[in-house]
Amino acid sequence: MDPNPSTFADSSPADPSLSDPSTEAEAGQNGVSPAAAGPGRIVLAATPIGNTGDASARLIELLGTADIVAAEDTRRLHRLVQSLGVTVAGRVISYHEHNEATKTAELLEQVRAGKTLIMVTDAGMPAVSDPGFRLVEGAVAAGLTVTAVPGPSAVLTALALSGLPTDRFCFEGFLPRKAGERASRLADLAAERRTMVFFEAPHRLEAMLRALRERFGAERRIAVCRELTKTYEEVIRGTVGELLLWAESNEVRGEIAVVLGGAPEQAPGTPEDHVAAVNELMAQGIRLKEAVAAVAEDVRVSKRELYSAVLAAR
């Protein structure tokens, strides 16, 4: 969810489950920290994507002991800790895409001073199509410790339930909203053989499926995963054409993950068919031998025969 920055403040809600920020100052004066003493660290903690029963024991422990909880949406955090029966002892700070640039340095300074900071987003793992990358990037550059509490993942859950190949896959996040930009992105994926996982808003799903049909054809295998781990979880599997008809005739709601099968493997063809690809790599400064090896592996032809074809074409 994209939070509205005007609704956030760097303070905790007036609720016993989220402590008053002054608690940290008082704890510091008494020489007591809510977290165990030691070097500072950042913990990226995965939160449930739907069912709160999926919250890990480590997540629950850290929410109650960390010095700082950086949350994408403090209101979502408030609901989560209430459902888990956790009292947050540390300072709660809103940290989302609209204030990452200004808040990151402040948070890194707190970690450098020895604080334990837990980063949580609305659902799933921080930094994966969610806030958190800037924080990790800054921490790595500063030599600070970053670790993770793994847990629920909409990407992996959708992939596992899709019925599509799982041995090789890629995550593409949200496609661009504008039709031209979306078409350009899909053109880049035209030859992608791996299974692809996307996120999409329910009101844009129909347009996305129509764009997929235009680029990949109506027969490409696909799965639309809706409300994963929630009460009304639903996984619809079929072809792009079939699921487009489904989307057109239904009012789709909830959080959506789309899993698309990769491009079918093409026949390797003859070595002569791939001479141009070798020449293109050589034009980029790659030596003949390395260019031949790269193309031969990609299109599954004999390196020796492709090398001979390139020489014969000169």
> For 70-115, what is each residue's pLDDT tens digit?
999 999 999 999 999 999 999 999 999 999 989 999 999 999 999 9
pLDDT band at 18 (very low <50, low <70, confident <90, very high): low
12 and 146 in a common domain: yes
Look at residue 35 and tell me whether its pLDDT is greater than 90: no
308 and 256 in a common domain: no
Alpha helices in the chain (DSSP H): 22-29, 57-65, 74-84, 100-112, 133-142, 154-162, 179-188, 205-216, 240-249, 275-283, 288-299, 303-312
Q: Check which CATH number belongs to the domain holding 242 and give it.
A: 3.30.950.10
- The mean pLDDT value of the chain amounts to 88
In the predicted model, what is the mean pLDDT of residues 171-197?
94
192 and 126 in a common domain: no
Paired strand residues for 198 = 173, 258
Q: Is residue 56 part of a domain?
A: yes
Q: Is residue 265 part of a domain?
A: no
Q: Is residue 284 part of a domain?
A: yes
120 and 222 in a common domain: no
pLDDT digits (tens, 9 = 90+) for 249-262: 999 999 999 999 99
173 and 85 in a common domain: no
139 and 62 in a common domain: yes
Q: How many domains does the chain have?
A: 3
Q: Is residue 141 part of a domain?
A: yes
Q: Is residue 129 part of a domain?
A: yes
pTM of the predicted model as reported, rounded to 2 decimal places: 0.73
Q: Is residue 244 part of a domain?
A: yes
Look at residue 24 and tell me whether its pLDDT is greater than 70: no
179 and 256 in a common domain: yes
235 and 192 in a common domain: yes
Listed residues 110, 137, 152: the one ending a domain: 152
175 and 143 in a common domain: no
Tokens of 8: 């956030």
Among 144-158, 244-258, 262-276, name the one with the lowest average pLDDT.
Answer: 262-276
20 and 148 in a common domain: yes
User: What percentage of the chain has pLDDT greater than the value 70?
Assistant: 87
Tokens of 62: 């850290």
Give the domain range for residue 284.
Answer: 271-312
Measured in Å, how far apart are the chain's first and last C-alpha atoms? 57
Q: Is residue 266 part of a domain?
A: no
Q: Check which CATH number belongs to the domain holding 100 and give it.
A: 3.40.1010.10
87 and 54 in a common domain: yes
Q: Is residue 77 part of a domain?
A: yes
